[in-house]
Structure 1
Amino acid sequence: MKTITITDVAKHAKVSKSTVSQYLNKRYEYMSEKTRKKIEETIEELNYQPNIIARSLKQKSTFTVGVVVANILHTFSTQIIRAIENYFYKQGFHIIVCNADDNPEKEKNYIEMLRAKQVDGIIIFPTGDNLDLYKRMKSDQFPIVFMDRTIEELNIATVMLDNHLASKLAVDRFVERGYEKIAIITTSIIHNISPRIERIQGYKDTLVSHGIQFNADYIKTVNAEEIPNALSEFFELKNPPQAILAGNDIVLNEILRFMKKHDMNIPEDVAVIGIDEVPYANFYTPTITTVNQPAIEMANQAAELLLSQINKTGKKDTSVHRLKPNLLSRNSC
């Protein structure tokens, strides 16, 4: 059976090859609605399948981008991936998603694999421990955008939350409700993960702004499997916390499991606020107050920055873009 080519489509639709090419690249502004409809019908009638390899060679692009997430278990990560995929699909690109599990070696292997596959650019939630690799990518002028985490000395375009404000919104709410013994627990900061460090600093600064001295015993940074022990230590204190800020959704999950296991009531025994909206927050009993990240807006901005680098349009942006969170008030505080 003969392979249908772009020439066949053009001939059948009675248009030029360049017009069909513009259609395939979704440059519809170069043709009338009648021409666009005719090409669409011809492609369907002839069952034409574009030669992606030939297209890539001609345009020196694979029309593929990589996304390397630090931990795909985070609700925020899946929201970001979904929005990035949607953005690039509309641009005629595919995405390859890799999960680094906060493991620098795994991250390094994935980045090298993606570059070997000649992706056009990569959005990375950086582990922070591959500085030489990031520098080499920058030196090669390879399109790269950091998401969620920053390494400021590298001057790589970054999209992330205003983490200081995220903690402030939570602590302000606790104080408004009369709580002063306020704790925070995050996953490990051993790799200097910037959002976790910034959220702790925001927590400290906001307590001080309310005239409350922060207590080192009320601050925990541990691996996910150690969270139950850290919570036990909180409640074994002579003056246990009245309220707990969960640094991310994984921490919040562990707190809720711990409370249920120990028959503790929220907010009567301890008030809870989580940074990161979670799907069950508005139907859990009680409903959970969260600080929400604008994930779709963040993903779209990162995708726009990357596409601009790929297309070499405008002045290269190497700044850190911080988007504002908002408090979703419910019944856990």
Structure 2
Amino acid sequence: MNNQAYKSGFISIIGRPNVGKSTFLNRVIGQKIAIMSDKPQTTRNKVQGVLTTNEAQAIFIDTPGIHKPKHKLGDFMMKVAQNTLKEVDLILFMVNAEEGFGKGEEFIIEKFQSVQTPVFLVINKIDLVHPDKLFTIIDAYKEKYPFKEIVPISSLEGNNVETLLEQVQKYLPEGPQYYPADQVTDHPERFITSELIREKVLHLTREEIPHSIAVVIEKMERSDANDIVHVMATIIVERASQKGIIIGKQGSLLKEIGKRARLDIENLLGTKVFLELWVKVQKDWRNKMTQLRDFGFREDEY
């Protein structure tokens, strides 16, 4: 392999909440590393996915969906998303083909005016619209910003994803292989484990739960004797009523959350897992900086 010609770079995936950024990342990397939910604003930290080929290494950053913050956690998420734009080699601005151009998109395009980074427009969820509608969408966005490339895709079905990756590679600068070829994310296993548990809570609970939970991994130890990994995790909620919902009748919901999460964690770690889940109430944790820090949301890292 000619090292001089090797390309590598950082790519930010940005867009309004719920346009399919995490689904795209998981499709590209081929493993479940970003939390997926049909509820918006589920990604909080920068989740990096690493795609390595013989010619290039693309490091994808899945930012929190850009939206108007409502609390300190929201402010934090917005800062992360905005700072990312300046640090990367390429920006993928992802929009939902089913939704028209609105204030949210305008807000994001405004952020592009202050950066030199090339921007692709990625129109996702094309499997849900009639092909004729695509031309209207493309024309509407062309007027708003000089995108380097416009690529319609379906993350869910995989349509045109390879084409997008080929275009991405063209725009990457020459550079080293930052990560080993078999590494798909730079996040520690603890972080992904906590996200997998949080994802199951989101899938199995009603509307009032999502943004008021955090998952803290208290213990993650591999037993030398039988190679089983023992995971102890606490689900943090803001109100006692939420604790009741998550536990469920005679512990039934918590048991189901644990069962589903354990399967994903076993896939991630490639070994058997013993998972213990607890639920704890910490009132208004999203507005307390000390608790945000305790739960891993550290501004100084970004």
- Radius of gyration: which is bigger? 1
- TM-score, normalised with respect to structure 2: 0.30
- TM-score, normalised relative to structure 1: 0.28
Instruction: Identify the structure with the greater helix proportion.
Output: 1
